[in-house]
Structure 1
Amino acid sequence: MTDSTVKFEPLTLSVEEAHPMVPMGKRQFREAVHRGEIPSVKLGTKIRIPRKKFLAMLEGEEL
């Protein structure tokens, strides 16, 4: 039997994880999220960025 490792990638990113991927500051990133320019979901008091939609947006893809 072999030991296989499954790579886990979370479905969502925090603002802190996502904002370094774009050339803007954290405050500007949060403002873009609140304006709806960056896809997001609110889970309780936390704002999460859907990984797949965010990466597609960065690559210029339409969903």
Structure 2
Amino acid sequence: MFAIENQAPCVDALEGACIVGRAVNGAGAFTSAEITEAFSMFTREGSLPVWKAFDQDATMMHQDR
């Protein structure tokens, strides 16, 4: 599930809007080609930080340059 949220899923992150991809049915959801491309698309677009989250773990995605 992808959502635009007004607070990052990590307490030590900067405040503000971000896109969060959450694996609600297990971390295996992140391995599908469609989800990988969705993360890539949001990261390439670049207007908001993109986070990958599962349970209590959250990782900010970075665009490869």
Band the TM-score falls in, shorter-chain normalisation: under 0.3
Q: TM-score, normalised by structure 2?
A: 0.27
Q: TM-score, normalised by structure 1?
A: 0.27
Q: Which has the larger radius of gyration?
A: 1
Q: Which structure: greater helix fraction? A: 1
